[in-house]
Amino acid sequence: MFKIGTFADWFGKGIVEGIRESQRCGASGVQLYAWNDFDPAKLKPELKREVIQTAADCGQEIAAICGELGGHGLEIAADNPGKIDYLKRTVDLALELNCRVITTHIGVIPAEQDCEKYRVMRDACSSIGAYAAERCVTIAIETGPEPIERLKSFIDKCNRDCNRNGGIGINYDPANLVMVTRDDEVAGVKLAGNAIVHTHAKDGVMHHYAGPEEVYALFAKGGIEAISKVSQWFTETPLGKGSVRWLQYLTALKEIHYSGFLTIEREVKENAAEDIRAAVGFLKELISQI
């Protein structure tokens, strides 16, 4: 029904060994970050060949590639040509790895559709979406910075000139919705529908509603490290220890006929590998119940 994936980097042993660890813990795929040595602009052919061969040897599908834009995503027009070029190179890399999904954060989509920031973000996504669609690849925007209904409306506008085999889609992260947006992670699945092309299996609890704009402004300035220090707002937890209603959530995914990856994301430095292994077992047990 669903495929279980992991992030190779979060095992803390490097990308190649992370792929091997993914096999050992019982997952069938891995997501890779297109950064550092695996940045398409810096990637050496030897490492690319080693990753492809290791994945094949370990029976690991490349579930998705994370094209992390950093900063304010695609909110600032002057920064976008370089970021669009990076995403295009990431699309090309994905094809070499037989992967069809790029996940990314684009910033906070404004509620006002007639404002300048909305136009800038829409134009950037329409451009990279068209490039991806021509190659049957989807740029999957991660949930969290805005309500699902707003994200889905934005995606529909960006995809007007794209075919249905690619373009702009959704990387559905239920934990971001319960920790940051205070959105319904189950009802959101039905709103997003077939726009969901990939999901992150992550969990967490909200302690105080700061609002997506405040949270993602902090992310823009300091990245994951900055957000991980704001424990008074929310806490990421191991799967099953937070507020995500997993059985209802997976049932909703089944009802929209989603059959892709549940890619475990554990953004902590301590015990991440242990939590990932436990999460694989947790998901397998839940899947057997629906």
Q: Structure pTM? A: 0.96
Degrees to nearest 5, angle at CA 240 with 239 and 244 = 90
**Given this model, what pLDDT does residue 27 score?**
98
Q: Where are the domains of the chain?
A: 3-287
CA–CA separation, 24 and 58 (whole Å) = 9
Identify residue 280 by its one-letter amino acid code: V
Q: What is the dihedral of CA 29, 33, 38, 40, to 10 degrees?
A: 110
Say which DSSP state 245 is in: -
Taking the CB of residue 2, how many other CB atoms lie within 10 A of it? 20
Q: Token pair 């029904």 is at which residue?
A: 1
CA distances for 263 relative to 33, 62, 140, 279, angstroms: 13, 11, 13, 10
Give me the sign of the Cα torsion angle 279, 189, 137, 1.
Answer: positive
CA–CA separation, 7 and 277 (whole Å) = 12
Look at residue 4 and give its three-state secondary structure. Answer: strand
Burial class (CB in 10 A: 0-12, 13-18, 19+), 125: buried
CA–CA separation, 12 and 35 (whole Å) = 15
Residues 240-273 pLDDT 10s: 999 999 999 999 999 999 999 999 999 887 889 9
Degrees to nearest 5, angle at CA 238 with 222 and 209 = 55
**Given this model, what pLDDT does residue 194 score?**
95
φ, ψ for residue 32, nearest 5 deg? -115, 145
Is-contact 5 239, C-beta < 8 A?
A: no
CA distances for 52 relative to 5, 57, 96, 148, 247, angstroms: 16, 9, 9, 35, 34
How close are the terminal C-alpha atoms of the chain, in Å? 9
**Given this model, what pLDDT does residue 163 score?**
63
Residues 49-67 pLDDT 10s: 999 999 999 999 999 999 9
Say which DSSP state 78 is in: G
Q: Which residues are within 8 A (CB) of 48 and not within 5 positions of it... i.e. 6 or more apart?
A: 93, 96
Q: What is the CATH architecture of 3-287? A: Alpha-Beta Barrel (3.20)
**Given this model, what pLDDT does residue 91 score?**
98
Q: Which residue, 7, 101, 92, is CA-closest to 43? A: 92
Give me the sign of the Cα torsion angle 143, 187, 251, 170.
Answer: negative
**Given this model, what pLDDT does residue 229 score?**
65
Mean pLDDT split into 10-residue runs, the chain, 290 residues = 96 96 98 97 98 98 95 95 98 98 97 97 96 96 96 95 82 97 97 97 95 87 71 92 98 98 89 95 97
Q: Token pair 């669903």 is at which residue?
A: 2
Q: Which residue, 57, 48, 47, is CA-closest to 23? A: 57
Tokens of 24: 């050992």
